[in-house]
Structure formats: structure tokens, C-alpha cells
Amino acid sequence: MSDRKKITLPYLYEKYQRGEPITMLTCYDFPTATFQEQAGVEMILVGDSLGMTILGYESTLPVTMADMIRHAQAVRRGAPTAWLIGDMPYMTYQASVEDAIRNAGRFMAEASCDAVKLEGGREMADRMAGIVAAGIPCMGHLGLTPQSASSLGGFKVQGRDAGRALRIIEDAAILEEAGAYSILLEMVPDRVCQIITERASIPIISLGSGPHASGQLLIFHDMFGLYPRFRPKMAKVYGNAGEVILNGLKQYVAEVQDKTFPQPEHWFGLKDDAFAELAALLKEKETD
Ligand code: KIV
């Protein structure tokens, strides 16, 4: 357990105003959350990316509020002091402001989140404003927004031409105006991220969008080689836990087969006197 004080919005803004980078990672489960809490990660996103990293779907679209709440609750149990963000899954905010407020409220009431995140720019400004007016801090998400991957042409860099870059820059200003406390820029060119960061008066967080942002985000499973399908360019691998796990599993299978596992330290014995008593009882039963 860490002895860190609860990360709050004033803490995040003070850090941002001092120009100190904010740390953010995705997390989906209790043990990983305890590690992230101990390591001092400040913002934890329970991302709907769990649909891909944990549940094995091809996209984030099938993820439900029930999935998100269950995982957010587990993460909160492991990371009591982190700034915990619940990621609004597909079709829990797109249809109406009312849907957006009710579902954002569920993250706060049922999973003790500190904030929520939604994807989209100007078209989501009224959802952002509604959530914020309900007293819930809300993060924006621009650039590659996986819930719209189909209309964006897949999982690829956004804002590479001037017109599209301008639209992202304008969307960031609109979301800030609508009350976003922070905006995540996913896979946007570094110079576009720099312009947005310089113009904004809220923390801009980069996922593959370069070093000029107010903080950085990585997907936990990408950092540790835990996503078997692909590794995006932006993911620095800090340790290949996937390889360690795979080697361990192969060794386990081999050791069970060649009977080198288990060894005496891996099982529980019965004392001689109890064993003798048991043998006598069994014999007695046999002769009954
Ligand atoms: O779901 C998620 O983890 C996200 C990140 C890709 C930013 O939204």
C-alpha cells in the first residue's frame, strides 16, 4: 500500500501550472492497480480498450457499462489514491445528453471514479457540458478515437493534413470551452499536439502525440508485451512480461509432464500420528 495522499483536481492543475508532466496509464484489474498505485501513477484510465486487451474483442464497440463498472471497481480497490477515470463505452453517451449524464454518474456512484472520459470533438460538446454541469469532471479525447475507427479509416494517425489538423485544434478549444478538465490526444502529429498544448489552459495528455503535452499516457498491455495481436509504434516496451509468462507456462507444462513439479515444498503433508489414526479408521470401516 502507498502512503500517498489522494490525487485531486487541484493537485493535477498545480502540477500542470508548474509545467511538470502528469503520469497516466490504463488499468483494468486489482493487482495491476496495486502496482500502479505503488509506482506513483497519478491518473489511471479504466479504458474501454479492455474490450480488446482483456476480453479479446476486435474493437472496443461491444464493451458495456456493466463491463466497465466491474473493472473500474476492481481498479479502485487496488488504487485508492489515484485519479480514476472511467471511460464511457460506445453508445452510452452518443445518443443524448441525458444518457451521457446518467452513465457518467454510474461511474462516480458505483465505482468511486473521480472523472469520466468521452471520445469526440464539437459534436460531443453538449454531452461534455451536460456531464460537467452535473458536477462530474470530464476528459475529452481527440485524434484517433477508437469508437469511430470505422469512419476514421482504421487505427491510424489523425490530423496529418492541414485541414484535419485545424479541425482537431478547433475541437480542442470547443471541448475546453464546454468544460473539459483535460484532453487526451491520441495519435496526433507532435506539432499539432504542441499547438493545442500551447493554446490550452487545461492539461493535454499525449498518447503517441509527442513530448510537448502536459502529460503522457500508455496502454498498460502495450508497455509489457501483454497484447498478443499487435504492438503500436507509440508503445515503449518497459519489460516483456508476456514473454516471461509464456516461458513460465511452457516450463510448467514440461515439469508436470516429466513429474519434476510438484516438489515437497508445494504440497501439504499429514503428520505420522494422524496418518496412523486415519489408517486405523479406514481399516475399522473395512471390517464393518
Ligand atoms: O480505452 C482506452 O484505453 C483509451 C485509450 C486508447 C486512450 O481510450
Q: Where are the domains of the chain?
A: 9-240, 244-287
Contact 110, 69 (CB under 8 A): yes
CB of 87 within 6 A of ligand 1: the answer is yes
Q: For residue 198, is it left (φ>0), alpha (ψ between -120 and 50) or beta? A: alpha
Nearest to 129 by CA among 153, 98, 159: 98
Q: Catalytic residue positions? A: 186
CA of 281 to the centre of ligand 1 (A): 61
Q: Which pLDDT score is estimated for 47?
A: 98
Q: Annotate 25-53 with b (16+ C-beta within 10 A) or e (fewer).
A: bbbbbeebbbebbeeebbbbbbbbbbbbb
The pLDDT score that the predictor gives to residue 1 is 62
What is the predicted pLDDT for the residue at 21?
A: 98
With the most atoms of ligand 1 within 8 angstroms of its CB, the residue from 184, 209, 216 to mutate is 184
Spatial neighbors of 261 by CB under 8 A, at least 6 apart, are 252, 255
Rounded Cα gap, residues 239 and 220, in angstroms? 11
For residues 39 and 46, the answer to whether their CB atoms sit within 8 Å is no
- The predicted pLDDT at position 154 comes to 86
What atom in ligand 1 is closest to the CA of residue 186? Answer: 7
pTM comes to 0.95
Our answer on whether the CB atom of 186 is closer than 6 Å to any ligand 1 atom is: yes
Residues of the chain whose pLDDT is less than 70?
1
pLDDT at 231: 84
Cα 48 to middle of ligand 1, angstroms: 6
- The full DSSP string for 68-101 is HHHHHHHHHHH-TTSEEEEEPPTTSSSS-HHHHH
Query: Does any ligand 1 atom lie closer than 6 A to the CB of residue 23?
Result: no
Q: From the CB of 43, is ligand 1 less than 6 Å away? A: no
Residue 230: its pLDDT value, please?
Answer: 85
pLDDT for 178-216, tens place per residue? Answer: 999 999 999 999 999 999 999 999 999 999 999 999 999
Would the CA dihedral through 262, 268, 274, 280 be positive or negative? Answer: negative
CATH topology of domain 9-240: TIM Barrel (3.20.20)
Main-chain phi, psi angles of 273, to 5 degrees: -65, -40
3-state secondary structure of 241: helix
